[in-house]
Structure 1
Amino acid sequence: MVGWEAIAGMFGKNAGTEDLEAFYPVRPECKADIPKTRFRPRAGKTLSARRWHAAFSEDGHLDIAKVLRRIQRGGIHPSIKGLVWEFLLGCFDPNSSFEDRNQLRQQRRERYGMWKTECQNMVPVIGSGKFITTPIITDDGQPIEDGGWHVTSAVADKKVAQWMLSLHQIGLDVVRTDRALTFYENETNQAKLWDVLAIYSWVDDDIGYVQGMNDICSPMVILLENEADAFWCFERAMRKLRENFRCSTNSIGVQSQLSTLSQVIRTVDPKLHQHLEDLDGGEYLFAFRMLMVLFRREFSFIDALYLWETQIGSR
């Protein structure tokens, strides 16, 4: 682990894009295809490891107001993003102690382990370091024999069947997730993302898995080494965003946000709004993906994280 002195030394100068890419390296062949990163950590403004460490009292209480002010001024240095995000997303109460958080973290890891075992008993590939991209049961619950990972008998339980039907779609989305990052060249890391999404879809009886959740979950998996900790960060993020993914035959989850965007543009730039109306874009459906996954695919990975943490920190 990098020591506090070494990390603090990174802030002797303003870190450039090259420094950030050391934390989130991009595959050489993909560099020309991803959006240019604009965020730069700034000495004296970005939340550094040293200032983060200094924001805790002796028993572990966090001066969250001081931390949020720093984040608003310059974001969070990559070396501590995962630790800070656990507080921003509400995994931990800033007024808790080190001991309180250690106990809670252990309880959550155990609970995640129980859910994972439950899912693994139904689909053994979970937790194996592998994942699936083809269906394992038919729409009527019959097992599909493909010589790979499959269930051994027909599935009658509606919840179980619905969950199993979603697993290969999660796998297909995992393959497409942040594929420019070298992190996901490793199949084990892809499987980690698949496990978290598969288990979340089992636990969330209401919405389950919807395409786009992979874009929300990926940063948690990259920032937090422990899979259970990544799951709980994702679970907290989904508490704030889950309505984005609620769709029916009559409405889409971000419909209200699209309506708000339309009203804002109509007010601040009537000519642009009229132009969009003329192009039959007045319902702003072109912004559906942008709002649903919080600009993950419009910005570089680094810039998207910066946008997220400044927005979360302002709420």
Structure 2
Amino acid sequence: MWGAPAEPADSYYQIRPECTDVPNTRFKIKPGKTLSVRKWQAAFTQEGFLDMGKTLNRIQRGGIHPTIRGEVWEFLLGCYDPKSTFEEREQIRQRRRSQYASWKQECKQMFPVIGSGGFITAPVITEKGQPILDPLVLQETNLGEDSDFFKELESRGPLDKKVIQWMLTLHQIGLDVNRTDRTLVFYEKKENLSKLWDILALYAWIDDDVGYCQGMSDLCSPMIMLLEDEADAFWCFERLMRRLVRLHMLFCGS
């Protein structure tokens, strides 16, 4: 949470050890220029208003100290208005976390692997919505041929087109997730791969105009590495996608 200015700015977002193993990083802290924890704290008023001009100027001159990148990115990506207070941002944060949990439960009801700590890399349905009992899927998910999921899928009758399209993308997301930043220790843990898959799967469901495209996993990856809470990482990614969609419309006129 944001807390009062006297509280260390990096007390909420700590850089986890497994996220600091990026080989041969080119980032060098520039004394007096890099946006440090102290300068980040000083950029806020007592109420929580952020001096965005000075913050951007320092970032441009010396970059962002690794320990505060997560919370700084939330402002840079537009998750929070610099003119909002600490209290207002905390209310927004909790509301967004609640919304994310609701969407996740909705997706989990359609496909129980969501939120299970696993993910899939093979299709589970045909383009007509019929279940595929792929041995790889059964092994990855521990669903089993006699699981309630496949029984329910067979008994549902024709699936909604949106549901079919979404479920057809899940294994494509899984294939990309499996290839994302695999040189990092962070992704040696399956639960971190699953977190990335969950976020991308939920985004594909709520924004069916965009859905999922190859490369989105690489855009989302830094979010889950810097932001401990999955919902916070999702909203940073969602704001990033908004900007990319606007740029696409601006330059492509569609």
Deviations for 1:122-152, whole angstroms, at most 9, x for unmatched residues?
A: 0001011111111110121101124344543
User: 1:108: which partner in 2?
Assistant: 96
Contact 1:155 1:161 in 2 (8 A): no
Match of 2:206 in 1: 203
Code of the residue aligned with 1:197 in structure 2: it is: L
Unpaired runs of 5+ residues, structure 1, are: 8-20, 247-252, 257-315
The SS at the match of 2:170 is helix
Alignment partner, residue 273 of structure 1: none
Corresponding residue for residue 58 of structure 1 = 46
Could you tell me whether the CA contact under 8 Å between 1:45 and 1:70 is conserved in 2?
Answer: yes
Identity %: 59
Give the superposition deviation at 1:24. 2.4
| Count of residues in Structure 1 that have an aligned counterpart in Structure 2 | 229
| 3-state secondary structure, aligned to 1:79 | helix
1:168 aligns with 2:171: yes
In the other structure, the counterpart of 2:72 is: 84
TM-score normalised by L of structure 1: 0.67
**Separation in 1 of the partners of 2:67 and 2:20?**
11
Aligned to 2:21: 25
| Aligned-partner Cα distance in 2 for 1:243–1:133 | 31
Which amino acid in the other structure matches residue 101 of structure 2?
A: G
TM-score under structure 2 length normalisation: 0.83
Residue equivalent to 1:240: 243
Tell me what 1:117 maps to: 105
- Matches of residues 88-167 of structure 1 in structure 2 within 5 Å? 88-146=76-134, 147=138, 148-149=142-143, 151=150, 152-153=153-154, 155-167=158-170
**C-alpha distance in 2 between matches for 1:159 and 1:134:** 19
**In structure 1, distance between residues paired with 2:248 and 2:165:** 17
SS of residue paired to 1:176: coil
Tell me, in whole angstroms, the C-alpha distance in 2 between the residues paired with 1:54 and 1:195.
36
Distance 1:244 1:166, change over 3 A: farther
Letter in 2 for 1:234: F
Cα displacement (A) at 1:208:
0.3
How far has the Cα of 1:207 moved from its partner? 1.4
What's the offset of the Cα at 1:155? 4.7
Structure with bigger gyration radius: 1
Structure 2 unaligned segments of length 5 or more: list them.
1-6, 12-16, 144-148
Distance 1:69 1:244, change over 3 A: closer
2:122 aligned counterpart, secondary structure: coil
Measured against aligned partners, the alpha-carbon deviations of 1:159-192 in whole angstroms (never above 9, x if no partner) come to 0000000000100100100111111100000000
Alignment-mate amino acid for residue 231 of structure 1: F
